[in-house]
Amino acid sequence: MFDPEEIRKDFPALSRLVNNKKIVYFDNAASTQKPIQVIRVMQEFYEKHYANVHRGLHTLSQEASKMYEEAHEILAKFINAYSWREIIFVSNTTEAINTIAYGWGLWNLNEGDEIVITVMDHHSNMLPWRIIAQIKRAKVKYIDITDEGYLKYDQLAELVTGKTKVVAFPIASNVLGTINDARKIVKIAHEVGAIVVADGAQSVPHMSTNVRELGVDFLAFSGHKMLGPTGSGVLWGKEDILEDVKPFKVGGDTIIDVTLDSIVWHELPWRFEAGTPNIAEGVGLAEAAKYLMKIGMENIREHEIELVRYTLKRFEELGGEIEYYGPRNPIDKTGVLAFNVKGLNHHTVGAALDMFGIAVRTGMHCAHPLHRRLGLEGTVRASYYLYNTFEEIDYFIESLEKIILLKKSLSGPPTEIICTGT
């Protein structure tokens, strides 16, 4: 049975104190804590098996290569890829999307072509396409959202034309939590022959992902958001399209042969993993994927739905002091809640919650256009994962009540804490 209390025992960081309070970690959309299983497998790799991969015939190199290659196979299983050859290890979602933008877009886009993205995109899925559009003199179009935080699919159908070559979107918003209809987007894009690039950073860690059913052409996600180490991530692509992508970074281990006049690129996926890769991080990411598969992604998804449902209900008990943004139906979103306390700067609320040992994110969350579309200068973001509990939410609400009471007891304008972080 899915038991958050038992799961929590695997996470050493969740037992520490912050400001003499037991930590409540609600910053999972930014990065997740690591289970002891991931920590130990990486430690064991460094202690017993470390060597460079694909470089030597000696025992350590062979062991390291085997573990690293098996990690690709595990991640292929995790997202139901057609082959492990489609799994490219990258440092994070940002690198993955840049790899597509420069490796495919730079070589396939022409002046007058169109790229369609959304106003809810994280900067990592927005800026690479905007830069490529500048280089190639292509045009970027934006899909708007409704006031409730849903994509305007009717507008998408109007924006996509015969000139559209790329449609890029987040499967789930990192601010609103909105889960977008990938199949509908794919259908519209593929009707005009456009490729579809999906940012899975906020979806892959939280729900079952089957790339064969999604229908997208590329999927990018980060390891550190799914219990894995920093410096790990995956770019998945359909094998026939990947064969047409030029390596974005080139050098060691990307080639079969080089002469002064020619280059023979390595087979998939190695041509995209230039130089010495993050070997231990790949091994750690595979262990994180195994951990999540053992827990069951369906169980994690259901748990987050109930946590969100409970939180929204508890928000209603705060006397209208909470301004909440995004879908109200927990089925339509991930475990991400963006909100503000009326009359208080978002950074002030975040700093106050930290005094209670509660970790949340404040700012624009690398989604400035989305916040401006909503008329906001920033939000407080609480984001849940498999180890969060209803008891933590109760403590969260009690802490917000105290902050609100303190606000009401003070006269004059609210105190603001200036923070430049996003």
- Confidence at residue 419, expressed as pLDDT on a 0 to 100 scale: 40
- Confidence at residue 1, expressed as pLDDT on a 0 to 100 scale: 75
Q: Domain of 253?
A: 38-294
Q: Which of 294, 326, 358 is the last residue of a domain?
A: 294
Q: Tally the residues of the chain.
A: 422
Reported as a pLDDT band with limits 50, 70 and 90, residue 412 is low
In total, how many domains does the chain have? Answer: 2
Give bridge partners of residue 42 from the DSSP assignment.
Answer: none
Cα 260 to Cα 282: distance, rounded to the nearest angstrom? 33
Reported as a pLDDT band with limits 50, 70 and 90, residue 411 is low
Cα 247 to Cα 106: distance, rounded to the nearest angstrom? 11
Cβ 234 vs Cβ 96: under 8 Å: yes
Q: Could you tell me which of 132, 184, 118, 182 has the C-alpha nearest to residue 157?
A: 184
* Burial group, residue 32, by CB count within 10 angstroms (0-12, 13-18, 19+): buried
Which residues, 6 or more positions from 180, have their beta carbon under 8 angstroms from its beta carbon? 118, 151, 169, 170, 171, 172, 173
User: What letter represents residue 278's amino acid?
Assistant: N
pLDDT average, residue stretch 323-336: 98
pLDDT average, residue stretch 177-193: 98
Reported as a pLDDT band with limits 50, 70 and 90, residue 420 is very low
Cβ 166 vs Cβ 105: under 8 Å: yes
pLDDT for 374-383, tens place per residue?
999 999 999 9
Same domain (yes/no): 256, 311: no
Same domain (yes/no): 256, 355: no
Reported as a pLDDT band with limits 50, 70 and 90, residue 422 is very low
Grouping H, G, I as helix, E, B as strand and the rest as coil, residue 87 is: strand
Cβ 80 vs Cβ 211: under 8 Å: yes
Residue 111 sits in a domain whose CATH number is 3.40.640.10
**Candidates 179, 189, 366, 400; catalytic one:** 366
Same domain (yes/no): 209, 70: yes
Cβ 188 vs Cβ 166: under 8 Å: no
Question: Is 419 one of the annotated active-site residues of the chain?
Answer: no
Cβ 211 vs Cβ 219: under 8 Å: yes
Q: Could you tell me which of 58, 89, 57 has the C-alpha nearest to residue 72?
A: 89
Using the predicted structure, report yes or no on whether residue 418 has a pLDDT greater than 50.
no
- Confidence at residue 358, expressed as pLDDT on a 0 to 100 scale: 98
Using the predicted structure, report yes or no on whether residue 317 has a pLDDT greater than 80.
yes
Same domain (yes/no): 244, 388: no
Report residue 381: phi and psi, to 5°. Answer: -120, 120
Same domain (yes/no): 341, 277: no
Residue 415 lies in a domain: no
pLDDT for 27-68, tens place per residue?
999 999 999 999 999 999 999 999 999 978 999 999 999 999
DSSP H/E element including 140: strand 139-143
> pTM higher than 0.85 for the full model?
yes
Q: Could you tell me which of 250, 221, 251 has the C-alpha nearest to residue 236?
A: 221
Same domain (yes/no): 262, 131: yes
- Confidence at residue 410, expressed as pLDDT on a 0 to 100 scale: 85
pLDDT for 250-276, tens place per residue?
999 999 999 999 999 999 999 999 999
Residue 417 lies in a domain: no
Tally Cβ neighbours within 10 Å of residue 231. Answer: 20
Using the predicted structure, report yes or no on whether residue 333 has a pLDDT greater than 80.
yes
Report residue 8: phi and psi, to 5°. Answer: -60, -25
Eight-class DSSP state of 13: G
pLDDT average, residue stretch 229-240: 98
User: Average pLDDT, whole number, for the chain?
Assistant: 96
Same domain (yes/no): 126, 149: yes
Q: Could you tell me which of 120, 184, 96 has the C-alpha nearest to residue 325?
A: 120
Residue 348 sits in a domain whose CATH number is 3.90.1150.10
Q: Which of 231, 259, 294 is the last residue of a domain?
A: 294
Reported as a pLDDT band with limits 50, 70 and 90, residue 413 is low
Tally Cβ neighbours within 10 Å of residue 320. Answer: 8
Using the predicted structure, report yes or no on whether residue 417 has a pLDDT greater than 80.
no
Same domain (yes/no): 176, 220: yes
Q: Which of 260, 294, 328 is the last residue of a domain?
A: 294
Cα 227 to Cα 143: distance, rounded to the nearest angstrom? 31
Using the predicted structure, report yes or no on whether residue 245 has a pLDDT greater than 60.
yes
Same domain (yes/no): 278, 331: no
Using the predicted structure, report yes or no on whether residue 414 has a pLDDT greater than 90.
no
